[in-house]
Amino acid sequence: MPKKIPYPSSKVKEWERDRRERLNISFRELGSLLPSYNPASTLSKIEILQGAVKYIKDLHNENKTLLEKGLNKSTAKQLNQLRKRVDELSRRAQQLANLLREAGITIPNVLPDTDEPIKWDSKTQNASVLHEKAKKKTSEAGTLCSEQKIKSLGAGKVIDNKVVDTS
């Protein structure tokens, strides 16, 4: 086993001092975000972490009740089914990723981080309207592209999706 090359002790001390300072700054910032924050009193690091855990759990529960409060029973049931399905799929994806890693296959990170909740406005009736608008924009973009090609060729112009010779 190769021997470790010792760093000069002053560098190690400096790195450790910087690391501790970054940790302390992060703890102070986290403590200031807690609802029980009082700038006159100081909290220990353990108290800050415990307060943060409690606050996050409270926010999750509040978010869940707010979501379910505005939903009727069938929509709430559907939401719970979708949550369960997402959990199942996440577990399965993790299992498959572990199998790939064990086989020595690298996994590209093409998906965004899923720690952030996806915003959902619970307006499912708008989905078809939005789909139609997107389809219309796509077809308009295709028509516009065709018109530009025809004009650049000098062949004429498009009227009612037909090329009319203007020469």
Cα–Cα distance measured from residue 54 to residue 65, given in angstroms and rounded to the nearest whole number? 17
pLDDT of residue 90: 87
23 and 49: one domain?
yes
60 and 78 belong to one structural domain = no
Domain end point (choices 57, 82, 108): 108
Query: Which tens digit of pLDDT belongs to each residue from 121-132?
Result: 555 545 555 556
User: Which of 49, 70, 91 delimits the end of a domain?
Assistant: 70
Looking at the fold, whether 76 and 66 belong to one and the same domain comes out as: no
Instruction: Decide which of 118 and 50 is more confident.
Output: 50
CB 167: neighbour CB atoms within 10 A?
Answer: 5
**Quick check: 151 pLDDT over 80?**
no
Q: Label residue 102 by pLDDT band (50, 70, 90).
A: confident
What range defines the domain where residue 54 resides? 11-70
Tokens representing 122 are 């619970």
pLDDT at 111: 53
Identify which of 21-25, 106-110, 116-120 has the greatest average pLDDT: 21-25
Tally of domains within the chain: 2
66/19 same-domain check: yes
Model pTM score: 0.41
- CA distances (Å), origin 90, targets 93, 96, 127, 159: 5, 10, 25, 51
